[in-house]
């Protein structure tokens, strides 16, 4: 950030009065520009036969690696709505509900990832502009070494342990 988005004048990076950490501040119009982590909402879609749906990313970062469908939450939607919207956009899977089962912070990336478990109503899914391939995997087929993100690995592992441990929400923080 170099300029004030409100008035267009240069900003400076300093600790505002009454605060305890540096922010981008505009001395012209007095706006303090706070920067906060972003929420990524994702789903773990389960087919009627119990297999898990994964998407091969067709976009950077981590192009050609496998991921659970998800993306940045938008204003004017709930975390669940964001997760379901991204699942449609990336894998053409339609669901209208889901259960939050993992909340994983990634402080280094300024992100919080929220994962929902969803039941696919049928075997409908498709590749999209964002996913070059969309495929169902048995527990033993999951491509652990080709997963796009550590948070996805962490959420998948937690899901696979759930049947033994009863439903619980994983809440953790990853270093990067």
Residues that bind a second copy (CB under 8 A): 1-11, 18, 21, 24, 33-39, 72-81, 99-100, 103, 105, 107-108, 110, 112, 114, 129, 169, 171-173
> Which among a second copy, Zn ion, none contacts residue 8 (Cβ within 5 to 8 A by kind)?
a second copy
Residues that bind Zn ion (CB under 5 A): 4, 6-7, 26, 28-29, 31
Closer by beta carbon to a second copy, 34 or else 144? 34
- Residue at token pair 């505002």: 16
**CA-based max dimension of the chain:** 61
Closer by beta carbon to a second copy, 14 or else 110? 110
> Which among a second copy, Zn ion, none contacts residue 26 (Cβ within 5 to 8 A by kind)?
Zn ion
Half-sphere exposure (CA, 13 Å, Cβ side) for 23? 18
H helix or E strand, kind and range, residue 91: helix 79-91
Contact yes or no for 120/45 (Cβ under 8 A) = yes
In the complex, least distance from residue 100 CB atom to a second copy, rounded to whole angstroms: 4
In the complex, least distance from residue 72 CB atom to Zn ion, rounded to whole angstroms: 20
In the complex, least distance from residue 11 CB atom to Zn ion, rounded to whole angstroms: 7
Residues 73 and 122: their CA atoms lie apart, in Å, by 26
Q: How many CB atoms lie within 10 A of CB 44?
A: 26
In the complex, least distance from residue 9 CB atom to a second copy, rounded to whole angstroms: 8
> Which among Zn ion, a second copy, none contacts residue 29 (Cβ within 5 to 8 A by kind)?
Zn ion
Contact yes or no for 72/153 (Cβ under 8 A) = no
Structure tokens given for 164: 């033994």
């Amino acid at each position: 950030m170099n300029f004030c988005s409100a008035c267009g004048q240069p900003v400076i990076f300093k600790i505002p009065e009454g605060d305890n950490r540096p922010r981008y501040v505009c001395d012209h119009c007095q706006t303090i520009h706070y920067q906060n982590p972003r929420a990524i909402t994702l789903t773990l879609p389960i087919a009627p036969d119990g297999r898990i749906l994964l998407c091969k990313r067709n976009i950077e970062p981590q192009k050609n690696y496998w991921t659970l469908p998800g993306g940045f939450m938008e204003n004017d939607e709930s975390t669940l709505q964001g997760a379901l919207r991204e699942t449609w956009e990336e894998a053409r899977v339609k669901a209208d509900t889901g259960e939050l089962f993992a909340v994983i912070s990634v402080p280094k990336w300024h992100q919080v990832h929220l994962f929902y478990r969803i039941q696919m109503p049928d075997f409908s899914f498709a590749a999209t502009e964002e996913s070059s391939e969309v495929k169902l995997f048995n527990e033993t087929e999951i491509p652990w070494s080709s997963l796009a993100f550590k948070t996805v690995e962490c959420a998948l592992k937690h899901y696979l342990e759930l049947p033994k441990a009863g439903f619980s929400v994983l809440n953790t923080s990853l270093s990067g």
